[in-house]
Homo-oligomer: A and B are copies of this chain.
Amino acid sequence: LFALSSNVLYYLKRKINFGNDPRKVIHSLKVGFALVLVSLFYFVDTLYKQVGENAMWAVMTVVVIFEFSAGATLSKGLNRGIGTILGGGLGCLTAIVAEKVGGTGKNIAVGITVFIFGVLASYCRLVPSFKKKFDYGAMIFILTFNLIAVSGLQGEKVIDLALDRLLTIGIGFVICIFTSLVIFPVWASDELHSSFASKFDRLASSIERCTEEYFKQTDEKDDSTTVNFDGYLSVLHSKSKDEILANFARWEPWHGKFGFFYPWDKYLHVGDLLNELAASIFSLKECVHSPRQPLSTPARLPLKEPCKAVASFVSSTLRELGESIKNMRIMIRQGGATAAKLQKMKVELSGAMSVSDVAKLDKT
């Protein structure tokens, strides 16, 4: 077994070098730790006698809600909690009412209620605004409601059953939150913040490389397309990833530099503007590669100075903005100012595009 675990360690070490993200390894170790912790219910006989078979629900809770970032874990955990309480409560009510009805009517009554709540909750799960935040909660609601309501039919004491399950789910939740938030927490908010700040840098490099490329090669024209300046592409397609991160970040408690009610929406708003800037850079790149551009270096030379000037102005502004956001010198709460600056820059950039056309036409 020792040989096995050292093999595993070696494998993990190689993986670290591959992935270059120690957070992933730490996360996996945390999950393993939480699993062992929750398995204590089975390891220790006195504990098992207390909860019995219901220990299963604690294990299930840990496996299901432990996600990579603290925000995701919290969001899933709270959803599970709310869903269980609501579903369990309504389930108990249904079981008790059905008991009053008695006879065959009992089965029919429970069947109809299960159908109605199942339909309603499933429909809610398809409404986008609801789905974004409470999809998992609605699923757990259906599950708990169904299990508790039908258990009553087989003569189980539903309220005891519901409370026991709620208790073990609560224990699983506490173990998860403890492991996720206390031991090397991975914050979705940190990730959103740093990826957001790095976007400025990526856009700046894209602009610089684009102009460099235009004025450098003429004979090696075909090789030039292999020059990699795809930073803008990752920005162009980051919208849905950002939305997910912002959604998790909203669930995270106060920590580090972020207070309560931190305006994550501003990140998305400025992110949209950066997205548009990335689309402009894409067009700029297409123009540079267009067959209508003059092929010889001399024809391009007179443009070099003004273009370089605009490019370096735009990219240094971008870098400066990115730096200040990273170090939170400009508070992101003043997102309006940043947005205005970006808007101005976008105009500058499209201006630059027509300037280069102007100059080109002057030469030809």
Q: Which residues of A contact B (CB under 8 A)?
A: 1, 4-5, 8, 12, 15, 19, 24-25, 27-29, 31-33, 35-36, 39, 42-43, 48, 53, 56, 59-60, 63-64, 66, 68, 107, 109-112, 114-116, 118-120, 122-123, 126-127, 139, 142-143, 146-147, 150-151, 153-154, 236-237, 239-241, 276, 279-280, 282-283, 286-287, 290-292, 346-347, 350-351, 353-354, 357-358, 361
Task: Decide if A290 touches B351 in the complex (CB within 8 Å).
Answer: yes
Q: Which of A48, A142, A239 has the most CB of B within 10 A?
A: A142
Task: Decide if A36 touches B276 in the complex (CB within 8 Å).
Answer: no
Closest CB-CB distance, A306 to chain B, in whole Å?
15
Q: Give Cα A143–Cα B237 distance, bound, in whole angstroms.
A: 34
Q: Give Cα A15–Cα B119 distance, bound, in whole angstroms.
A: 13
Q: When the two chains form the complex, which single residue of B1, B53, B109 contacts A112, counting CB atoms closer than 8 Å?
A: B1
With A283-B280, A291-B347 in contact, is A36–B114 under 8 Å at CB? yes
Among residues of B, the one whose C-beta sits closest to the C-beta of A362 is: B361
Task: Decide if A126 touches B5 in the complex (CB within 8 Å).
Answer: no
Interface secondary structure of A, over-half rule: helix
Task: Decide if B63 touches A119 in the complex (CB within 8 Å).
Answer: no
A27 to chain B: which residues have CB within 8 Å?
122, 126
Q: Which of A43, A151, A358 has the most CB of B within 10 A?
A: A43
Among residues of B, the one whose C-beta sits closest to the C-beta of A68 is: B126
Task: Decide if B287 touches A350 in the complex (CB within 8 Å).
Answer: yes
A146 to chain B: which residues have CB within 8 Å?
35, 39, 59, 63
Among residues of B, the one whose C-beta sits closest to the C-beta of A39 is: B150
A33 to chain B: which residues have CB within 8 Å?
115
Task: Decide if A29 touches B240 in the complex (CB within 8 Å).
Answer: no
Among residues of B, the one whose C-beta sits closest to the C-beta of A108 is: B43
Task: Decide if B111 touches A39 in the complex (CB within 8 Å).
Answer: yes
Closest CB-CB distance, A81 to chain B, in whole Å?
17
With A35-B146, A290-B351, A357-B357 in contact, is A123–B24 under 8 Å at CB? yes
Q: Give Cα A292–Cα B39 distance, bound, in whole angstroms.
A: 69
With A63-B139, A123-B25, A279-B282 in contact, is A35–B118 under 8 Å at CB? yes
